[in-house]
Amino acid sequence: MIVTAPFGRTGHMSTRAVFGAAALSNVSQADADRTLDVLLQYGVNHIDTAASYGESELRIGPWMDRYRKQFFLATKTGLRTYAEARDQLHRSLERLRVSSVDLIQMHYLVQPDEWEIAMGPGGALEALIEAREQGLTRFIGVTGHDVAIAAMHKRSLGRFDFDSILLPYSYVMMQNAEYAAAFETVAAICKERNIALQTIKSITRRPWQEGQPRTAATWYEPLLEQEHIDHAVHWILGRPGVFLNTAGDINVLPKVLDAASRFEIRPSDAVMQADVEALEMSPLFV
């Protein structure tokens, strides 16, 4: 089983591995249901999906009649105006077959012009606050990737007291000094204000190479050997207070959950650097 920790100030004791339901974007319901069995096997109690994740919300919907109380359920809207975000959230609730979610997140909020719209008058944030007042969600978060996202999350937290953030975190990504400094700054804010800190892209090997066959549903080439996945996952879980959102491929998922279930200590930087060199690893975002 995977250990749990307080998910910020939400009151939820979340498994430190959160199911990244982008993995359900383009699978059958039968495959999705087999994935649910894997989640239950490892005790995963937190699902993170998004309106833009293909068929993901539709695949999760049939689970909710029986298992709604067993999962902290999060989704996202990438739309930026009040009306668009409001309508998309209602559609997500219908697709998920629930009357409310636990967490609604502003998705990929990194571009400054989009940020001004979403966070300003008539923006998406107003719709999410209204949804919380109406009982359609309990908490509000913000997500994103790219090198600029850590600094943008700091800006977002200066405007609104979000309950959670989500951003990339891995040994390779943290070798970028600019990103590492911004990450540490926003992580300190999260610790001070008890904001849940979710991380993504944990098992990235490198971007897909031109002409390379896509052997996984992830939009990057993932690590595939259990030993290397163990190192990547354990390095992330070795930082207290962070949550690891699993990779977007149902076939890679069991290896990530297996690694998370066996976490004891964080690998040394020497071990991680040896993997970087042997596997020719490179950051997804530069």
Domain boundaries defined on the chain: 4-279
Q: Please report the pLDDT score of residue 37 as a whole number.
A: 97
Banded model confidence at residue 219, pLDDT cuts 50, 70, 90: confident
Q: Please report the pLDDT score of residue 286 as a whole number.
A: 85
Span 96-145, pLDDT tens digits: 999 999 999 999 999 999 999 999 999 999 999 999 999 999 999 999 99
Q: Please report the pLDDT score of residue 164 as a whole number.
A: 98
Collapsing DSSP to helix, strand or coil, 269 comes out as helix
Mean predicted confidence (pLDDT) in 53-69: 97
Given a cut of 90, whether residue 284 has pLDDT beyond it is no
Assess contact for 176 and 225: CB atoms under 8 A: no
How many angstroms separate the Cα of 232 from the Cα of each of 240, 244, 259, 273?
Answer: 15, 11, 9, 11
Collapsing DSSP to helix, strand or coil, 197 comes out as strand
Assess contact for 247 and 34: CB atoms under 8 A: no
Banded model confidence at residue 285, pLDDT cuts 50, 70, 90: confident
CATH architecture of 4-279: Alpha-Beta Barrel (3.20)
Mean predicted confidence (pLDDT) in 162-185: 97
Mean predicted confidence (pLDDT) in 234-254: 97
Mean predicted confidence (pLDDT) in 229-238: 98
Q: Please report the pLDDT score of residue 275 as a whole number.
A: 98
DSSP string, 73-97: EEEEE---BHHHHHHHHHHHHHHHT
Residues 6+ apart with CB under 8 A from 210: none
DSSP string, 119-179: HSTTBHHHHHHHHHHTTSEEEEEEE--STTHHHHHHHHHHHS--SEEEEE--TTGGGSHHH
- Quick one: angle between helices 149-159 and 112-119, nearest 10? 20
Span 71-83, pLDDT tens digits: 999 999 999 999 9
* Average pLDDT in the chain: 97
Q: The tokens of 99 are what? A: 């009357």
Banded model confidence at residue 202, pLDDT cuts 50, 70, 90: very high
Q: Please report the pLDDT score of residue 211 as a whole number.
A: 87
232 against 215, higher pLDDT: 232
Given a cut of 90, whether residue 155 has pLDDT beyond it is yes
- Quick one: angle between helices 82-96 and 56-67, nearest 10? 50
Banded model confidence at residue 27, pLDDT cuts 50, 70, 90: very high
Q: Please report the pLDDT score of residue 76 as a whole number.
A: 98
Assess contact for 108 and 143: CB atoms under 8 A: yes
Q: Is 87 exposed, middle or buried (0-12, 13-18, 19+ CB in 10 A)?
A: middle
